[in-house]
Amino acid sequence: MWIVKHIQQTAIESLNQIFGQTFTEKDFQINQTKPEFDGDYTIVLFSLVKALKLSPDDIGNKLGDHLTQNNPTLFTDYNIIKGFLNLTVADSYWLDLLAKNYNDVCYGKAKLNGQKVMVEYSSPNTNKPLHLGHLRNNFLGWSVAEILKASGYDVIKTCIVNDRGIHICKSMIAWQLFGNGATPQSENKKGDHFVGEYYVKFNDELKKQIHELKDKGINEKEAEKEAPIMKATQQMLLDWEAGKPEVMQLWKTMNSWVYEGFDTTYKKIGSDFNKTYYESNTYLLGKKIVEEGLAKGVFFKEDDNSVWIDLTTDGLDKKIVQRKDGTSVYITQDIGLAQQKYEEYGIDQSIYVIGDEQNYHMKVLKLIAEKLQLPNAQNIYHLSYGMVELPTGKMKSREGTVVDADDIVQEMENVAKNKTEELGKVKDFTAEELETLYTTIGLGALKFFLLRVDPKKKMIFNPEESIDFHGFTGPFVQYTHARIKSILRKEEVTSTKFQVQSLLPLEKKLMIILEQYATVIDKAANEHNPSEIAIYVFEVAKIFNSFYAEHSITNAETPDKKQLRLQLASLTATVLKSGMQLLGIGVPERM
């Protein structure tokens, strides 16, 4: 059992024995004691005053006495300052914990809880390469999945590829018009970038045609509809839906180019999926559900045959779920897919990692699922994240202010390379080892930067500052790990039994935070928030570095102290490695 819970329960017992009243965990708070006071953990007494009709100091004295007298192996001392009962936890408690866990690579991770969760993330369009926004999505989704695993869930990672629709036809048309049979191979370009260029070409041409039409006196809206390239695109979508062979062939070819490019990027950034859904397979889903919904009275039919749901009593609007021509709209597919996911995997919880611009859509999806009484509809969770913006404002593909995913990764690697060469600590590495190291550090910096912020908040990416490798960054944590490993390569923990009675302040501080790892995983899992892990891991590294600067490990005061510190260093390395792994970041042995 973890310390806070332990204190809580002991305090509840003591309060019961002293005052004959029963309290619960929610009746009083336990915080870590602020550094300026003596003690390790603090019970806030104010909330008990009313029920006990005593002054905070009175309660504190009685509780403090009782706790220390009845739990000598847990508490050694207490003091009361202005209504706060500061408890000192016995050093033997920390030492026992350390001895039991210093060698456990699974330290902090929970056992399977029998719950199955699906995490859908990434969900790219196959008409352009991934950009920085996609990276936030990918890193978030992957990390949340890992955190949930560490917290005891059985996790299935999925991806829905938006591989069809008008936007895909746009790049197809442009390729037909301007491609002259070019291929990624012939142009020596990555497939997704190659296709993305035609998407841009489409928009350029469209703009040109609109301009020409406007000169002829046609208004903007009309011009966009009437532009020949747009008409051709719409025709192509119809042909696609009709399964016209040459269109299907082109579609398959161009998508395969994109997939090849995506594969490279996914492999590089470490995204993986247990199951990939394709919109071209799922876009017709949901029609059966529309029928069922009509029968249940959840949906209603308009005179023109379109099908709707009325969500006005839930504070939302009416929403269409099927067009008058009987075709599915976006939300219909999603309901269909939601059900398919459940049928295929019997999931207890379904998490969607999708940007906050779709908050409304996801709210509607969940509501509809609930009204249709789909299984576990209430456990649909939209992990909504904010947009990534540049200091100059939003990223806009049209204005060329998009930060390309492959570019930024490459840039981070270059910085890692320059920095590493400058420091010259790994001159004996092979070329291959160096490449791996640059990727680990560069990608680590990028992932950490994107994950250290609360997902729901929009974030500003400043290319200049973001490639900093000092302070609250991935490389800082990686460096701390490498430092520890450097010691552990030379020195081993040789005895688990040693005579150390007391801990120095920094040793204890380190032990206290290491003890919190499992609690932090749990919190991060419940809140679907990797930034909890990033902040924690940084804090651990910071405390270790202070400890490292203050106390020598290899030249400790006594052999016993050396053993203790080796154990501490070992557990720290484990927690850093494990925590970083939950963020998808590797930690090097040397750097």
Partner RNA sequence: GGUCUGGUAGCUCAGCUGGAUAGAGCAUCAGCCUUCUAAGCUGAGGGCCAUUGGUUCGAAUCCAAUCCAGAUCACCA
DSSP line for 482-534? HHHHHHHHH-----S--------HHHHHHHHHHHTHHHHHHHHHHHT-THHHH
If the CB atoms of residues 267 and 458 are measured against RNA, the closer one turns out to be 458
Among 68, 86, 101, 339, contact with RNA (rule: CB under 7 A): 86
Positions in 460-479 near RNA (CB under 7 A): 460, 462, 465, 468-473, 475-476, 479
Taking the complex as a whole, the smallest distance from the CB of residue 510 to RNA amounts, in Å, to 12
Residue 487 within binding range of RNA, rule CB under 7 A: yes
Buried b (16+ CB within 10 A) or exposed e, 560-591: ebbbbbbbbbbbbbbbbbbbbebbbbbbbeeb
Beta bridge partners of 87: 41, 78
Q: How far is CA 222 from the centre of its chain?
A: 43
Taking the complex as a whole, the smallest distance from the CB of residue 479 to RNA amounts, in Å, to 3
- Tracing tokens 């750097």 back to the chain, one arrives at 591
The Cα 564–Cα 555 span in angstroms is 12
Q: Which region among 38-46, 267-275, 344-352, 399-407 touches RNA (by CB under 7 A)? A: 38-46
Q: Which region among 69-77, 128-136, 323-331, 577-585 touches RNA (by CB under 7 A)? A: 323-331
The Cα 212–Cα 214 span in angstroms is 5
If the CB atoms of residues 105 and 549 are measured against RNA, the closer one turns out to be 549
Among 203, 454, 518, 519, contact with RNA (rule: CB under 7 A): 454
For residue 489, give both structure tokens.
Answer: 């390569």
Residue 199 within binding range of RNA, rule CB under 7 A: no
Positions in 370-429 near RNA (CB under 7 A): 386-387, 394, 416, 419-420, 423, 425
Residue 551 within binding range of RNA, rule CB under 7 A: yes
In eight-state DSSP terms, residue 110 is: P
If the CB atoms of residues 179 and 529 are measured against RNA, the closer one turns out to be 529
What is residue 271's three-state secondary structure?
coil
If the CB atoms of residues 100 and 231 are measured against RNA, the closer one turns out to be 231
Taking the complex as a whole, the smallest distance from the CB of residue 154 to RNA amounts, in Å, to 26
Q: Which region among 5-13, 28-36, 189-197, 374-382 touches RNA (by CB under 7 A)? A: 28-36
If the CB atoms of residues 190 and 452 are measured against RNA, the closer one turns out to be 452
Q: How far is CA 22 from the centre of its chain?
A: 40
Taking the complex as a whole, the smallest distance from the CB of residue 374 to RNA amounts, in Å, to 20
Beta bridge partners of 308: 300, 320
How many Å from the N-terminal Cα to the C-terminal Cα in the chain? 36
Contact 548, 506 (CB under 8 A): no
In eight-state DSSP terms, residue 111 is: P
Beta bridge partners of 385: 355
Residue 23 within binding range of RNA, rule CB under 7 A: no
Taking the complex as a whole, the smallest distance from the CB of residue 553 to RNA amounts, in Å, to 3
If the CB atoms of residues 204 and 360 are measured against RNA, the closer one turns out to be 360
If the CB atoms of residues 443 and 459 are measured against RNA, the closer one turns out to be 459
Residue 304 within binding range of RNA, rule CB under 7 A: yes
Positions in 262-291 near RNA (CB under 7 A): 279, 283
Say how many residues touch RNA, by CB under 7 A.
Answer: 89
Q: How far is CA 502 from the centre of its chain?
A: 39
If the CB atoms of residues 515 and 522 are measured against RNA, the closer one turns out to be 522
